[in-house]
């Protein structure tokens, strides 16, 4: 039985935000430029509104400019594309983020592909996805970037480790697999059609849950001593009618088996906005140098 370390993503993210803030101060002193992040929200999805508010607050706290565009749910795709075209040309905007999900009448992929790749701080544009894949400098999706930062902080070099990523979305699973390859891991990407998923998971030194199914990954799927990163955020209803957030990994069962694990909440979640701020500063630096 091992002592399972709880990976404190909240504390790590707080330190990262402080480092970004101090780099923003130095960048501004050297260039006179304040990095600017434009966030576009279409409609009034309550969860999205909370995310956008938090992003705006933390952007300003890091010394950057937050430019919010809140559009009604009835906004047409053409109107949204016109706004993005304008933001692409605005010099004070270094990063553009379109909050997902978009209303059903808007084609999200069409919208994301019109963002200037140099300002694509979410890293969802095919140019950035492609650059990451071929090993060029890219703006990398925030959640996977946060996962790799936590892993390197825990483990140092990841070279040669067996990594199993459960989930293959364009937002989390696929870019995370690419980042782990870049770190010289041996990477397996599992998904809903994977045969004998528990056995695949048991060979992982690094096990990532990015599925969106509450506590699907059980304790006995975890290799003793493995580092477990739980990306899942699932809202479950308890017997007393109250709600609770749980991850994709059965956290209690993992105790005494995993070497280290991220909790939900307080693990990967806080890293996402911190990495968004880091990406915005990176984008601003590259645009000023260009």
Catalytic residues: 55, 99, 122
User: What residues numbered 255-284 form the site for ligand NDP, per CB under 6 A?
Assistant: 268-269, 272
From the list 15, 10, 12, 2, the residue with the least C-alpha distance to 260 is 2
Number of other residues whose CB lies within 10 A of the CB of residue 163: 26
Say how far apart CA 168 and CA 177 lie, in whole Å: 9
User: What residues numbered 128-167 form the site for ligand NDP, per CB under 6 A?
Assistant: 143, 166-167
Say how far apart CA 138 and CA 162 lie, in whole Å: 24
User: Judged by CB under 6 A, does residue 204 bind ligand NDP?
Assistant: no
Residues near ligand NDP (CB under 6 A), total: 25
User: Judged by CB under 6 A, does residue 171 bind ligand NDP?
Assistant: yes
* Segment interacting with ligand NDP (CB under 6 A) among 39-47, 81-89, 100-108, 206-214: 206-214
User: Judged by CB under 6 A, does residue 117 bind ligand NDP?
Assistant: no
Least distance to ligand NDP, CB of residue 149, Å = 13
Work out which of 95, 175, 232, 259 binds ligand NDP, going by CB under 6 A: 232
User: Judged by CB under 6 A, does residue 63 bind ligand NDP?
Assistant: no
DSSP 83-103: HHHHHHH-TT--EEEEPSSPP
Report the interhelical angle of 173-182 vs 126-134 (nearest 10°): 30
Say how far apart CA 49 and CA 85 lie, in whole Å: 23
Work out which of 48, 114, 169, 287 binds ligand NDP, going by CB under 6 A: 169
* Segment interacting with ligand NDP (CB under 6 A) among 40-48, 125-133, 190-198, 280-288: 190-198
Work out which of 213, 218, 285, 286 binds ligand NDP, going by CB under 6 A: 213
Least distance to ligand NDP, CB of residue 32, Å = 33
Least distance to ligand NDP, CB of residue 243, Å = 14
Work out which of 197, 201, 208, 226 binds ligand NDP, going by CB under 6 A: 197
User: Judged by CB under 6 A, does residue 176 bind ligand NDP?
Assistant: no
DSSP 59-90: HHHTT-EEEEEEE-TT--HHHHHHHHHHHHH-
Q: Nearer Cβ to ligand NDP, position 265 or 286?
A: 265
User: Judged by CB under 6 A, does residue 231 bind ligand NDP?
Assistant: yes
Report the interhelical angle of 46-61 vs 269-289 (nearest 10°): 50
3-class SS at 142? helix
- For residue 252, with 0-12 CB atoms within 10 Å meaning exposed, 13-18 middle and 19 or more buried, which class applies? exposed
Q: Which residue has the tokens 């594309």?
A: 81
Kind of pairing between the strands at 162-166 and 186-190? parallel
User: Judged by CB under 6 A, does residue 9 bind ligand NDP?
Assistant: no
Say how far apart CA 171 and CA 149 lie, in whole Å: 17
Least distance to ligand NDP, CB of residue 181, Å = 17
Interaction site with ligand NDP (CB under 6 A): 143, 166-169, 171-173, 190-194, 197, 210-213, 231-234, 268-269, 272
């Amino acid at each position: 039985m091992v002592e399972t370390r709880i990976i404190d993503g909240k504390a790590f993210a707080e330190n990262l935000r402080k480092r970004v803030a101090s780099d923003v101060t130095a960048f501004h002193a050297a260039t006179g430029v304040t990095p600017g992040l434009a966030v576009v929200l279409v409609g009034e999805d309550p969860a999205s509104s909370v995310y956008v508010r938090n992003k705006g607050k933390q952007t300003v706290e890091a010394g950057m400019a937050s430019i919010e565009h809140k559009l009604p749910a009835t906004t047409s795709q053409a109107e949204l594309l016109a706004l993005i075209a304008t933001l692409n040309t605005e010099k004070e905007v270094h990063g553009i983020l379109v909050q997902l999900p978009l209303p059903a009448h808007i084609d999200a992929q069409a919208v994301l592909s019109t963002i200037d790749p140099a300002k694509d701080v979410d890293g969802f544009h095919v140019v950035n996805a492609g650059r990451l894949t071929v090993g060029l400098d890219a703006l990398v999706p925030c959640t996977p970037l946060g996962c790799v930062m936590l892993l390197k902080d825990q483990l140092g070099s990841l070279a040669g480790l067996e990594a199993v990523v459960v989930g293959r979305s364009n937002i989390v699973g696929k870019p995370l697999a690419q980042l782990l390859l870049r770190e010289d891991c041996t990477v397996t990407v599992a998904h809903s059609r994977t045969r004998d998923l528990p056995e695949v998971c048991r060979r992982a030194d690094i096990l990532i849950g990015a599925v969106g199914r509450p506590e699907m990954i059980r304790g006995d799927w975890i290799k003793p001593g493995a580092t477990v990163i739980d990306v899942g955020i699932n809202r479950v209803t308890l017997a007393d009618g109250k709600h609770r957030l749980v991850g994709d990994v059965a956290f209690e069962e993992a105790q005494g088996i995993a070497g280290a694990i991220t909790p939900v909440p307080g693990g990967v979640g806080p890293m996402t906005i911190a990495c968004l701020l880091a990406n915005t500063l990176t984008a601003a630096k590259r645009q000023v140098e260009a």
